[in-house]
Amino acid sequence: MEKKPTTLFVVAAALTNESGAILLQKRPDHASMGGLWEFPGGKVEAGETPEVALARELFEELGISVNLQDLIPETFASEPLGERHLLLLLYRCVTWEGTPTPHFASEIAWVHPNDMAALPMPPADYPLVERLKRI
């Protein structure tokens, strides 16, 4: 019988500063996909809208507060991820309260989309970066 993958709903943010650089965080070495650079975010939990999930993740991961209306849909990725299928919604955000501080990531960095090719990222992120470069 054909296998039917479960879709994993993930939301992530392209937090963008005045220079057009975007915040990336490095996954801890012991985590799945350890050492890869990614957009902050995570899985949408039951009972959450994508925007509520992203605001929660940004507070948990970076200690920043965002208003839901400041999360602007930008692009998405739809890719196989192991036995599952990843649907990653990427939002643009230029306004937040607080200074991003890594609570789980081993490092954070502000990176221009043109410079992201030099960093190892999860496979689903490369098409996202290509689109960010064109915007």
Ligand X SMILES: Nc1nc2c([nH]c(=O)n2[C@@H]2O[C@H](COP(=O)(O)OP(=O)(O)OP(=O)(O)O)[C@@H](O)[C@H]2O)c(=O)[nH]1
The DSSP letter of residue 132 is: H
The DSSP letter of residue 65 is: B
Per-residue x/- track, 11-50, ligand X (CB under 6 A)? -x------------------xxx----xx-xxx-------
Cβ atoms of residues 94 and 70 within 8 Å: yes
Tokens 């054909």, located at residue: 2
Per-residue x/- track, 114-133, ligand X (CB under 6 A)? --------x-xx--------
In the complex, the smallest distance separating the C-beta of residue 78 from ligand X, rounded to whole angstroms, is 11
How many residues sit in the footprint of ligand X (CB under 6 A)?
15
Alpha carbon 55 to its chain's center: 12
Burial 30-44, CB ≥16 within 10 A → b, else e: eeeeeebbbbbbbeb
| Closer to ligand X by Cβ: residue 98 or 126 | 126
Binding site for ligand X (CB under 6 A): 10, 12, 31-33, 38-39, 41-43, 86, 88, 122, 124-125
